[in-house]
Amino acid sequence: MPRNSADLLIVGASEVLTLGGASHRPRTGAEMNELGIIKDGVVAIKGGLICDIGSLQKIYDKWSAPGIIHAEGRVVMPGFVDCHTHAVFAGSREIDFIKKIVRKSGREISAVPAYLEILKGGGGILETVAKTREASEERLMIYAAFWLNNMLKYGTTTVEIKSGYGLSFEDELKILFAIKKLRGSKMDIVSTFLGAHAFPPEKSREAYLKEIIDHMIPHIHVHELAKYCDVFCEAGAFSVEEAEKIIEIARVWGLKIKLHAGEFNDLGAVELGVKYGAVSIDHLDHISDSAILAMAEAETIGVLLPAVPFHLMTGHYAPARKMIDAGVPIALATDFNPGSAPTFSMQMVIALACRQMQMTPAEAITASTINAAHAIGMEEKVGSLEIGKQADIIILDIDNYLQLPYWFGGNLAREVIKKGVIVS
Ligand SMILES: [Zn+2]
């Protein structure tokens, strides 16, 4: 029988992690340990899509291809989906970081004379807002492209990016237009409006809330600038009542809902998210047992961000075990941002999830691929290796998947393939 011709075959993998069979709904509970492993599996790619996948014999009987990648006994899996980032910003906040180290050490800032002058400076989110406002759209795109390229090198092939460092009509739209233009890059990018990230210093709470509701959200709809609307619901940021006003309007304008909740306090924002059918609720380091049950019942995805308590040195991680055991679908993400999570590495996040939240390696991989794809509405295209899906594939320099969280702190991605093309 003549063989069909594909563009590319990936052969010689010790394990192909397909994550197949979960494109209709995210995996929960014990299912999160199912990786759909094919030993010595082969992936056939045509036109940027996976045209077949299976055992060596099955694929060789059916397919030939001019291009062959030999995985040399390494692990082949779907590219990571980073479903929560703030990757468009200017500047960095290492001074905030030094302040935290000093505070954590129990010393006074004045005990660190070398840093004294710079430590007196502003810092915090408003420093990033000021720098982001100063930067042009083109400049922000250059900065973001640098970070996206690093993400790609570390195996992330799909990313969500939020606005939120503009905090004015012009600056939030500038960020969202930058994200829209970046969509033409190698990555798949999903855009989220997070004008409700903080309150700007120059306006009253009421005035800014009105600006979001009356001006920003309608413009975002008209220019198709975002798929989701997110609110940072936290003490010192937006209250549950303020978040509810924004959510109601966002839904009217066709935006789907996400929420930042329980990063430092449990304000009852999870209940609000569940009430309005949020696609995901993110952070959840502080969450009540009843809120966990409500999320499980509503099948709301919990996006956990362990790089944040790690970087902030709070020691307070989301109760992932409790949530998985209760049936909440869990995804993982970096929360990449200059203040609370300056890492673009999903590999690092997986390492933290296993060590700090006792997720199994398989659960962490599921949470970083197919479940993360569900959290940003990309489950039909990415997050698993199945016929018809995009050939977004990484080859990791490890013998078996258990080594992904085990060898931590480096970059295990040997080859990164996006839509059938080697990009790193
Ligand atoms: Zn965030």
Quick one: what percent of the chain has pLDDT higher than 70? 96
- Spatial separation of the C-alpha atoms in residues 156 and 392, rounded to whole Å: 9
Residue 53 predicted with pLDDT over 80: yes
Contact 50, 43 (CB under 8 A): yes
Burial of 111 (C-beta count, 10 Å sphere; 0-12/13-18/19+): exposed
The pLDDT, as a whole number, for residue 1 is 59
Exposure class string for 87-102: b at 16+ Cβ within 10 A, else e: bbbbbebebbbbbeeb
The pLDDT, as a whole number, for residue 3 is 87
Tokens of 375: 């959290």
Residue 184 predicted with pLDDT over 90: no
CA of 264 to the centre of ligand 1 (A): 12
Mean pLDDT over residues 186-208, rounded? 96
The pLDDT, as a whole number, for residue 121 is 61
Mean pLDDT over residues 85-98, rounded? 94
Domains of the chain: 4-78+383-422 (2.30.40.10), 82-375 (3.20.20.140)
Residue 103 predicted with pLDDT over 90: no
CA of 405 to the centre of ligand 1 (A): 23
At residue 372, φ and ψ (nearest 5 deg) are -65, -35
User: What does the mean pLDDT of the chain come to?
Assistant: 95
326 band by pLDDT with thresholds 50, 70 and 90: very high
Tokens of 175: 């960020």
The reply to whether 260 sits in an annotated binding site is yes
Mean pLDDT over residues 202-223, rounded? 97
CA of 334 to the centre of ligand 1 (A): 9
The reply to whether 79 sits in an annotated binding site is no
Q: What pTM does this model have? A: 0.96
CA of 420 to the centre of ligand 1 (A): 30
At residue 113, φ and ψ (nearest 5 deg) are -60, -35
